[in-house]
Structure 1
Amino acid sequence: MKKKIVLAALFILPVVVYLFFASGVNNFGRLPILTQKIAGISEMDPSVQLKNKITILGFLGNNVEKMQGNAFNLNQKIYKRFGEFNDFQMIMVVPEGNEEQVEEMKTELGKLSNVDKWHFAFGSENEIKTFFESLKTNVDLDENLATPNVFIIDKDLSLRGRTDDEDEGVKYGFDTSSVAELNNKMVDDVKIILAEYRLALKKNNADRSK
């Protein structure tokens, strides 16, 4: 009888452990949707689009030079790590009239990495405010139409973030002035959403081959 119990335990225990961890991976494998279907950015600037891309979205405002340090942090900690993924991009929203400052920023960023997936969307003050409001976050743009926070937007134009962040509870964006926050939180969340889409792609390919 004891032998049967031992054999049963040896057989069942690995299965239970596998199911436990499989369930954990499945639950951890999706980054929560905080806002569904934000406004399309192409209506403001037809040269860029969010659809079918995993986007890191930021708002540089009228003082682009002041935000240069934030952009460098983002470039070094996020873009250089994930920029090689085909569907990954950076979009920074900037008020019209700052095109020259943006070109200067791109030149400086280009000294550190390839900037092919850095895109800049230009719009009027009202267009930028309306677009930002569609994110429905708990942060605000400052008087220059800027924020140090950047946001993860998925391929279906939904804002992704955290619902149980240890510091903020619901976390809509990531503070680019904090290297620690980019390293300790944003890197993990970008990994999750990229893995989510990779797994979905593998599943679709597997289903087609059946």
Structure 2
Amino acid sequence: MKKTFVLVVLFVFPIVVYLFFASGVNNFGKLPVLTENIQDVSAYNAQVTFEDKITILGFLGADVDLKKGNAFNLNQKVYKRFYEFKDFQFIMIVPKGTESKVEELQKELNELADVSKWKFIFIEPSEIVSVFSSLKTNLELDASYSTPYVFIIDKDKSLRGRDKEEDNAILYGFDATSVAEINNKMIDDVKIILAEYRLALKKNNANRDI
């Protein structure tokens, strides 16, 4: 029995891990950098930063109740799948005054998963606009300072996405209202960036051994 367990660990597990990441390879091989030097949220909350983190960034806006469906989609499809990876986090930016609504949302999310890596930043509307503008996308915030789109920010505070979609459009973010887009594009791209950093870590470790 012990021999079987050891064989599984040595041979089967590495294959499973390989297939997991291999399934996330899209046409780009490496997820393109679309915008560098995104404004860091640490300017508004010293406990939270994009630096050295792989971040899913969202803007829930003032009508938090109306965005619960988006949050649940992301929680079930993306967060629960990847939150155990080191340095992975969700950051949601919301206007000041929504604290009680966010607390209610956190309680509901916590019933489904450990939400310790969901971070909420409460800032003024003008500051929300400033962070969003630093992404330099073709998207806009609505009147409540929200957008259904979420964004992948890498450890160097750069926006990652796709620079050549089927219609030659740039994919800056992912529509959290669309389960199909989350399943078919976002999960794929999160796998790629996680694999990218894992490979870089292995390379650095190998260089140290040399």
Do both share a fold (TM > 0.5)? yes
How many residues of Structure 1 are paired with residues of Structure 2 in the alignment?
A: 186
Contact 1:29 1:195 survives alignment (8 Å): no
Moved beyond 6 Å, runs of 4+: none
After TM superposition, list the pairs within 5 Å mapping 1:1-210 onto structure 2: 28-167=28-167, 169-210=169-210
Contact 1:58 1:92 survives alignment (8 Å): yes
Percent of aligned positions that are identical = 62
| Separation in structure 2 between the aligned mates of residue 124 and residue 47 of structure 1, nearest angstrom | 17
Q: Structure 1 length normalisation: TM-score?
A: 0.86
| Separation in structure 1 between the aligned mates of residue 173 and residue 105 of structure 2, nearest angstrom | 22
Contact 1:150 1:175 survives alignment (8 Å): yes
Q: Structure 2 length normalisation: TM-score?
A: 0.86
- Letter of the 1:172 partner, please give it: Y
Contact 1:29 1:196 survives alignment (8 Å): no
Larger Rg: 1
| Separation in structure 1 between the aligned mates of residue 100 and residue 209 of structure 2, nearest angstrom | 50
Residue 28 of structure 1 and its aligned partner are, at CA, apart by: 3.8
SS at match of 1:170: coil
Deviations 1:29-49 (A, max 9, x none): 310000011111111222311
Structure 2: runs of 5+ lacking an equivalent: 1-24
- Letter of the 1:205 partner, please give it: N
Residue 167 of structure 1 and its aligned partner are, at CA, apart by: 4.7
Structure 1: runs of 5+ lacking an equivalent: 1-24
